[in-house]
Structure 1
Amino acid sequence: MALVGELRSGAEEWIIILERSCTLLQEIVGVLSLQWQEKLEVDWGAISMAEWLGDLTQETLDIIWELEEGPDPQLEAYIDWGRADDVMGICNALFAKSRDLHFLLEEDWQEMVVDAKLTKTKGANDMDDAQVDTKIAATTPTATTTTISATSAAVITSTSEV
C-alpha cells in the first residue's frame, strides 16, 4: 500500500489534471464560439469544416471520458471532493456548450454548402435556358417566341405569321 503522502500528492495531481482539462475545454469553447459569432471566413486548406468540427468534438469527448473515469480508487479518500465537484460541474457545462456550438456551426456550414450548390445550379440552369432559347430560335422557320421558365417549368409559345 502506498504511503499517505504519496496518496495525498496523487489526489492533488488528479485535481490539477481536472483543472487543466477544464481549461482545455474553455479554450475549445472559445474557438467554437468565436467561429460561430464572427462567421469567420477561413481558408481551411487541406481540412474541411466538417473535419475540423469532428476533431474538436472528439477532443472534447476524450477529455470528458477521461474525467468521468475518475481518479484511482486509492486516491478517493484524499481528494477534496468539493473542489473536484465544482471543477467537474464547470467541465460538464463547457462540454454541453461545445456540443451546442458544434451543432450550430454544423447547421450553418450545411446551409452554406446547400446555398453554394443552389447558386451553382441556378447559374448552370440560366446558361442552359439561354442555350435552349438560342436553339429554338435558330431552328424555327416561322416567327415563334418560346419562353422557358426554369422556376415554374412552364413553356409558353406564341406564333405570329410572317
Structure 2
Amino acid sequence: MPKTHRRTLELVERARHAAAIRRADTGEPATWRDPYWATCAEACAHRLADILGITREHIVISPDPTRVDDGWVWPRLTVTDQGTAYEFIAANKDPHRLLCLGPCPECGNRVPLTPLRHLADLGELLEHRAGLRRPKPPLAQELVADPAHHSRCPFHRD
C-alpha cells in the first residue's frame, strides 16, 4: 500500500474519531454544537500547540465542567506526554489567556495556577512543583475566586 494511501486512511480514522467525540458532547450547554465555541476552542488548541512546540493533534479539547462565564464554557486542553496528562484552560475562550491547571497551594483542588505564554512558563511551574525552583512562578489572576476551590480555601470567594 502506498504511503499516501495509508496516510489517508489514518486521516479518515482520525476524522471519524473527532466527529464521534463532538457528537458525544451532550452537556449543557452543548459546546461543540456551537460553531463559535468550537472555532474559539480550536484557536486555543492551536495557540497551545505553538507554545509547547507540538502538533495540534496531540491536544484533546473538552468543555471545562467547572468554569463558565456568562454561559460560555471555558475550553480545557489536555496534552499527554509519556503517560502524564498536562491540563490547561483558556480563560473566556481567549487563545492569549492560556492557564496551567494544577493543585491549589492551599486546598489542593485543580485550579488555574499560572499564565502560559511561553514553554518556559510551564518549565518553571514543573521545576517549582518538583522542589527545584524558588520562588514560585507568578500566580494567575484567575486563581483567586476560581470555582474549583474548596469552600474553606483562602482563595475561595462567594
TM-score (norm 2): 0.24
Q: Which has the higher contact order (CA 8 A, sep 6+)?
A: 1
Larger helix proportion of the pair: 1
Larger radius of gyration: 1
Larger strand proportion of the pair: 2
